[in-house]
Amino acid sequence: MADPAGPADLRAVEAAFRQQAEACADQGPSPLYALLMERAADDVAAGGPVARLLGDWRGHPVLDALSMRLLGAVHAEVLAGRAPELARHYRAAGEGGGVDAAVWPAFRGLVEERADVLRPRLDRQVQTNEVRRSAALLGGFLEVARSTGLPLRVLEIGSSAGLNLVWDRYAYRLGPHRWGDPSSGVRIESDWEGPPAAFDAPLEVASREGCDLSPIDLEDAEARLRLESFIWPDHPERLALMRAAIAEVRREPPTIRRARARDWLAEALAEPAPGRATVLFQSVMWWYLPESERSAVSGIVEAAGARASAAAPLAWLRKEGTRVESTDVELRRWPGGENRKLAESHWHGRWVRWLGDGRIAGMGSRPATWPRGPLA
């Protein structure tokens, strides 16, 4: 572990970049970022411009996703049109043209030239909002709608920009299944294995609301660019999907409170909501909570579950992971408190393996080491 009071150990930084290079090669995958991460690790070892840029950075290189902070900071320059040479390489990689080794000198040169612009960006957490995760969550919402027959009161913790909070306004192509408004500007395509989810269940979303420790204001062009900067440049379809979802959310934005999950939920779940099925959902946010907040959130939800009834049921839908390969989609329901694993799904929702009915014990706790998957 790095000493939180001092700069990160450069050997740990180098190892973190190599680890992320492997993850980018396996998961996603992103040959472009696999190469850049590997070269950046070499540069750190050789004391080059990346080492100089990161020399005084404080934090944990793996847990704080330093490599993704750096690559995101550089990508923001590309997206802003301030790095034309690098943009050419990124575009070619995104168009399937392969990765030209000359991308590294262009990257290195930018790090050297723009250290003053890049360095402050490294102090902010990586923050993403991955739209295709809705493909894996959809079946959970439909299952609650089907089993309760009630309109849904949708609550999300860790909403980021709220792109998954409007999941019902998107059109889905999930293997052979179709769901949603075919005229939606947001078209989510994922591979689907296993039986269908309750795609024909009648659905009404009565209300929706979310919270985030630092919600992204989509009316702020800089904030939008920052959100886009964390998408890997050789995944242009993810960027296009995100932009479509941003446009949809801006058309009719949901309310997202700036609050810790624990504090917001204490209020949001204080009273049962009769005539509604309350669905609290979350995706890829549990990692970010300290153990104390996880326990507090679990306690608040359990207590609300104990107050739930058939007229005011509660469900907790989670897409979270403790493995490199994939996340689990779990659904816990009250009254009763039964917990089911509904699916496994790619971290970014590229595929969903729908299980239907398998039962599991509960959510795993944070493992000692951070998985190497594309967590953000």
Which residue, 137 or 312, is less far from ligand SAM as judged by CB? 137
Q: Using the rule CB under 6 A, is 376 a contact of ligand SAM?
A: yes
Q: Nearer to ligand SAM by C-beta: 53 or 71?
A: 71
The number of residues making up the chain comes to 376
Q: Among 38, 143, 212, 234, which residue sits at the site for ligand SAM (rule: CB under 6 A)?
A: 212
- Taking CB under 6 A as the criterion, the residue among 77, 130, 248, 330 binding ligand SAM is 130
- Minimum distance from residue 49 beta carbon to ligand SAM (Å): 28
Work out how close the CB of 244 gets to ligand SAM at its nearest, in angstroms, rounded to a whole number.
Answer: 15
Identify which of 352, 362, 306 has the alpha carbon closest to the alpha carbon of residue 331: 362
284, 300, 304, 355: residue in contact with ligand SAM (rule CB under 6 A) = 284
Nearer to ligand SAM, 111 or 261 (CB): 261
Among 229, 283, 326, 327, binds ligand SAM (CB under 6 A): 283
In whole angstroms, the minimum distance from the beta carbon of 106 to ligand SAM comes to 28
Q: Which of 42, 293, 302, 320 binds ligand SAM (CB under 6 A)?
A: 293
Strand partners, 331: 317, 340
Number of residues lying near ligand SAM (CB under 6 A): 22
Which residues fall within 8 angstroms of residue 123, CB to CB, at 6 or more apart? 57
157 is a site residue for ligand SAM (CB under 6 A)? yes
- Does 148 participate in binding ligand SAM (rule CB under 6 A)? no
Closest CA to 300 of 322, 276, 316: 316
How many Å apart are CA 207 and CA 98, to the nearest integer?
45
Which residues are 345's β-sheet partners? 327, 352
Task: Please check whether residue 230 is in contact with residue 68, taking contact to mean a CB–CB distance below 8 angstroms.
Answer: yes
Helix (H) or strand (E) holding 214: none
Compute the C-alpha angle 131/344/259, nearest 5°.
50
Candidates 25-33, 59-67, 195-203, 278-286 — which segment interacts with ligand SAM by CB under 6 A?
278-286
In the complex with ligand SAM, which residue's Cβ is closer, 13 or 137?
137
Q: Which of 39, 133, 208, 318: binder of ligand SAM (CB under 6 A)? A: 133
Minimum CB–partner distance for residue 284 and ligand SAM (Å):
4
Q: What are the backbone angles phi and psi of residue 334, rounded to the nearest 5°? A: -125, 150
| Per-residue tokens: 358 | 């398998």
Residue carrying structure tokens 């959130």: 297
For residues 212 and 371, give the distance between their C-alpha atoms in angstroms, rounded to a whole number. Answer: 23
Task: Tell me which residue has its CB nearest to ligand SAM.
Answer: 158
CB of 213 to ligand SAM, least distance (A): 4
Closest listed residue to residue 336, CA positions, set 311, 313, 363, 361: 313
The correct pick among 20, 127, 148, 345 for binding ligand SAM (CB under 6 A) is: 127
- Candidate segments 124-132, 176-184, 337-345, 363-371, binder of ligand SAM by CB under 6 A: 124-132
Helices 103-113 and 66-79, axial angle in degrees (round to 10): 90
Site for ligand SAM, residues 214 to 273, rule: CB under 6 A: 214, 260-261
Residue 91 burial class via C-beta count within 10 angstroms: exposed 0-12, middle 13-18, buried 19 and up: middle
Closer to ligand SAM by Cβ: residue 153 or 226: 226
Distance of CA 204 to the CA centre of its chain: 25
Q: Give the orientation angle of helix 103-113 with respect to helix 31-46, to 10 degrees.
A: 50
Residues that bind ligand SAM (CB under 6 A): 127-130, 133, 157-158, 160, 164, 211-214, 260-261, 283-285, 288-289, 293, 376
